[in-house]
Amino acid sequence: MSESIQAGLAQPPIEIARLEAFISRTLVSVGIPTDDATQVAKLMAESDAYGGDAHGIFRLQQYVSQIENGAINARPKIRVINERASTALLDGDKALGHLVMKHAAELAIEKARQTGVGWVGTQHSNHAGPAHLYARMAMQQDMIGLYFCVGNANLLPPWGGTEVLLSTNPIAIAVPGLRHPSIVLDMATTNTALGKIRLKAQRNEPIPEGWMIDRQGQPLTDPKRASEGFLVPVGGPKGYGLALMFGLLAGTLNGAAFGRDVVNYTKDAKTPSNTGQAIVALDIRAFSDVQVFKQKVDDVWEMMKSSPTLPGFDEVRLPGERSGKLYEERIAHGVPLGAELRKVLDELADRLKIQRLN
Amino acid sequence: MSESIQAGLAQPPIEIARLEAFISRTLVSVGIPTDDATQVAKLMAESDAYGGDAHGIFRLQQYVSQIENGAINARPKIRVINERASTALLDGDKALGHLVMKHAAELAIEKARQTGVGWVGTQHSNHAGPAHLYARMAMQQDMIGLYFCVGNANLLPPWGGTEVLLSTNPIAIAVPGLRHPSIVLDMATTNTALGKIRLKAQRNEPIPEGWMIDRQGQPLTDPKRASEGFLVPVGGPKGYGLALMFGLLAGTLNGAAFGRDVVNYTKDAKTPSNTGQAIVALDIRAFSDVQVFKQKVDDVWEMMKSSPTLPGFDEVRLPGERSGKLYEERIAHGVPLGAELRKVLDELADRLKIQRLN
């Protein structure tokens, strides 16, 4: 019996370098050039390090399936198809989304360095992992990063509607601090993620009110009925509005899929997703001395942290605080992977005739 | 007895031109140059036309008080203090916020025309009316407009906290359509506005669950206790995150007030507010043929409109649809003003020795 199916036994965490190496050899084995595979592996492992467990190595099997079925192009030519001094539109040529978005973020940063701000959109891209990764790329260059995208599955009807025409279109904004951690928001436009609802359903626990509504518009709390319900957008019509507007910005404007054109790649590995994304890099130097600004961000951090709390809260948290702590812990000690995921990855390795994750 | 205090009697709506003329002569009477007064009056009346009843002429008395008390500078020199090809930081010199933001939007549009995108921030600005006005300025030039600002009163604690350190920092995004109306989102980051809660309290009606929490973190529904509670951000920690990030972008980055520095001008007409705002103009031409894009926005409109509805909804609405209809109606037939507001405006006119609103 392989160690991967010892379900219930605690598994030792996997070092980041091992995660990267495994992702890389998997991608190379299905035709991705080594350099590209290395870059994608680094970003996917980084996602796991930040605790985005559903956006890192968890997605590897799906990407492999898309590569094998042609929805992802292993040998893409990513190219700029429309360019101005501060903007660009990239055709991702169905590349792995991480490659397209890394390219987009680097271009946005370069443009921001020249002109103060860079806005780069993508079309014919693919799922690129968690939103914050790309906003952070700008932040690491003393810029503010903003990222929007059209999510890869429609889960949300317009407010008052019953047809799932919208994804939970996430938004990320990253702002650097000086001594305190950076402040990084990465949020979907729904009150909760589908993954959390699936977990409640698996455990047969009631779904908290506010997470889902049924086809009558009533709160859906019975985990057995989860598949009948819809996610609830943040603030009702407001979250619908955010999902719609960021969809127009990241999808429609870029000539990418939006609405009924969105392809759920977890169910369809053959049809190219034509994913659209947008990254904005805003150069802090265009507004302020960088050190002065970062000090002020620290002041905001301290102001929030030192403010009094409601009963039941030990402290006020800043956006990205939890994932930042997790990152440090996982960079030092590795990423815990569940037995079920280990099993999937081992089976994938065996099928592709590569060395298992070790 | 003047007609203005015939409370309870329906008042005829006021033509937009008359609103503008009254606002203009009021501002001129307290020292605002005629050209500036005309510009501000046009924007304030436009706000009323769109149904932003708490952001138009309703604010006139407060602006007058700030001008008389020095928090608003009647003879400002608005100037660019930091500029790059695609960005600028404006020092509003304590001008009426409408003047600062109109200047900022025009500069952002010009920069977008040159480079694809323009991002202009403001400091030492003031309340500028509803967010969508400035996003629409970009939209009217075949651009997408985005606007963020630090609101002028802290009403929101950080999630889990009890000190009101944040405003409901609104965000507006405006996207033009072709035959269908434009899609314009203008939202605060809380589930409801303070004004709606005050209305419930006045009427002694229960406050719907989800609008407020009390100092124990429990839902507050008793209208008599409204003053003890806090607004609830959209999606809980997510709305807090949005208010915080947009505050950092519109306030901290621009050297404007944020957090404990925010001045509530409705209570303090003497202290300059140092309001911060940001406007982004994104040139559609940098990404797409304009007509093609607008046609796609129409398609999105139709897709949402034609989708099936939940019980209790006669149709799916698009962001800005209601205010767009109201605008057409009010441009044609005028703006209804309540007797109480008429009375305030008449008293203001009498005190300033100018002709009443007529």
Q: Which of B185, B246, B299 to mutate to test the interface with A (most CBs of A within 10 A)?
A: B185
Report the CATH superfamily, name and number, of domain B192-231. Answer: Hypothetical oxidoreductase yiak; domain 3 (3.30.60.50)
Cβ–Cβ of A304/B244 closer than 8 Å?
A: yes
Contacting residues of A for B312, CB less than 8 Å apart: 217
Angstroms from A169 CA to nearest CA on chain B = 14
B282, containing H or E segment:
strand B275-283
Q: Within a 13 Å sphere around the CA of A314, how many CA atoms are in the beta-carbon half?
A: 0
Closest CA to B129 of B208, B52, B25: B52
Can you give the pLDDT at residue A203?
86
The ipTM, to two decimals, is: 0.95
Q: Please report, to the nearest 10 degrees, the dihedral formed by the alpha carbons of residues A31, A37, A43, A47 taken in order.
A: 50
Contact between A303 and B161 under an 8 Å Cβ cutoff? The reply is no
The CATH number given to B76-190+233-312 is: 3.30.1370.60
> Which two three-digit tokens encode residue B157?
């604690």
Q: Strand, coil or helix: what is B17?
A: helix
Q: What is the DSSP track for B109-130? A: HHHHHHHSEEEEEEEEE---S-
Closest CA to A162 of A276, A240, A256: A240
Can you give the pLDDT at residue B1?
31
Angstroms from B328 CA to nearest CA on chain A = 22
Contacting residues of A for B217, CB less than 8 Å apart: 310-313
Chain A residue whose CA is closest to B213? A310
Cβ–Cβ of B253/A293 closer than 8 Å?
A: yes
Residue ranges in chain B modelled with pLDDT below 50: 1-9
Cβ–Cβ of B161/A252 closer than 8 Å?
A: no
Contacting residues of B for A249, CB less than 8 Å apart: 144, 173, 175, 282
Can you give the pLDDT at residue A292?
98
3-class SS letters over A98-166: HHHHHHHHHHHHHHHHHHCEEEEEEEEECCCCCCHHHHHHHHCCCEEEEEEECCCCCCECCCCECCCCE
Q: Which of B192, B231, B253 to mutate to test the interface with A (most CBs of A within 10 A)?
A: B253
The CATH number given to A3-190+233-288+331-352 is: 3.30.1370.60
Contacting residues of A for B157, CB less than 8 Å apart: 307, 310
Q: What are phi and psi of A277, to 5 degrees?
A: -140, 165
Angstroms from A218 CA to nearest CA on chain B = 10
Chain B residue whose CA is closest to A191? B235
> Which two three-digit tokens encode residue B67?
């001008």
Which of left, alpha, beta for B173 (phi over 0: left; psi -120 to 50: alpha)?
beta
Q: Which of B183, B248, B277 to mutate to test the interface with A (most CBs of A within 10 A)?
A: B248
Closest CA to B278 of B255, B254, B244, B257: B254
Contact between A43 and A102 under an 8 Å Cβ cutoff? The reply is yes
A38, containing H or E segment:
helix A34-49
CA distances in angstroms from B187 to A243, A266, B149, B192, listed in the order given: 13, 33, 11, 10
Angstroms from A81 CA to nearest CA on chain B = 9
Angstroms from A315 CA to nearest CA on chain B = 7
Cβ–Cβ of A238/B288 closer than 8 Å?
A: no
- Inter-chain contacts counted by CB atoms under 8 A, chains A and B: 253
Residues 6+ apart with CB under 8 A from B324: B50, B181, B182, B184
User: CA angle, corner B117, sides to B115 and B123, nearest 5?
Assistant: 115
- Pairing, β A87-91 against β A117-125: parallel
| Radius of gyration (C-alpha) of chain B in whole angstroms | 21
CA A18/CA A45 separation, integer angstroms: 9
Cβ–Cβ of B310/A162 closer than 8 Å?
A: yes
Cβ–Cβ of A308/B162 closer than 8 Å?
A: yes
Chain A residue whose CA is closest to B108? A117
Closest CA to B337 of B345, B349, B329: B345
Residue B30: count of CB within 10 angstroms of its CB? 17
Q: Within a 13 Å sphere around the CA of B323, how many CA atoms are in the beta-carbon half?
A: 23
CA distances in angstroms from B293 to B114, B142, B178, B300, B334, listed in the order given: 20, 10, 9, 11, 33
Contacting residues of A for B310, CB less than 8 Å apart: 157, 160-162, 213, 215-217
Can you give the pLDDT at residue B10?
61
Contacting residues of A for B242, CB less than 8 Å apart: 185, 187
CA A190/CA A197 separation, integer angstroms: 12
Contact between A174 and A324 under an 8 Å Cβ cutoff? The reply is no
Cβ–Cβ of A217/B312 closer than 8 Å?
A: yes
Q: Which of A310, A315, A322 to mutate to test the interface with B (most CBs of B within 10 A)?
A: A310
pLDDT tens digits, B13-53: 999 999 999 999 999 999 999 999 999 999 999 999 999 87
CA B313/CA B320 separation, integer angstroms: 17
Can you give the pLDDT at residue A10?
61
Q: Within a 13 Å sphere around the CA of B58, how many CA atoms are in the beta-carbon half?
A: 22
CATH topology of domain A191-232: Wheat Germ Agglutinin (Isolectin 2); domain 1 (3.30.60)
Cβ–Cβ of A252/B293 closer than 8 Å?
A: yes
| Radius of gyration (C-alpha) of chain A in whole angstroms | 21
Amino acid symbol at B106: E
Angle between helices B60-69 and B16-29 (to 10 degrees): 10
> Which two three-digit tokens encode residue B263?
């001045």
Closest CA to A37 of A50, A48, A52, A21: A21
Q: What are phi and psi of B319, to 5 degrees?
A: -55, 130
Can you give the pLDDT at residue A7?
41
Closest CA to A124 of A84, A88, A167, A78: A78
A90, containing H or E segment:
strand A87-91
Cβ–Cβ of A249/B173 closer than 8 Å?
A: yes
Contact between B173 and B318 under an 8 Å Cβ cutoff? The reply is no
Closest CA to A306 of A295, A315, A293: A315
Topology agreement, domain B76-190+233-312 and domain B192-231: no
Q: What are phi and psi of A7, to 5 degrees?
A: -55, 140
Contact between B100 and B92 under an 8 Å Cβ cutoff? The reply is yes
Cβ–Cβ of B242/A317 closer than 8 Å?
A: no
How many residues in total does chain B contain? 358
Q: CATH: 1.10.1530.10, 1.10.579.10, 3.30.465.10, 3.30.2130.30. Which one for B10-69+320-358?
A: 1.10.1530.10
- End-to-end alpha carbon distance in chain A: 16
Angstroms from B314 CA to nearest CA on chain A = 8
Residue ranges in chain A modelled with pLDDT below 70: 1-10
pTM of the model: 0.95
All structural domains of chain A with their residue ranges: 3-190+233-288+331-352, 191-232
> Which two three-digit tokens encode residue A52?
């985005």
CA B294/CA B289 separation, integer angstroms: 9
Closest CA to B157 of B229, B251, B223, B222: B229
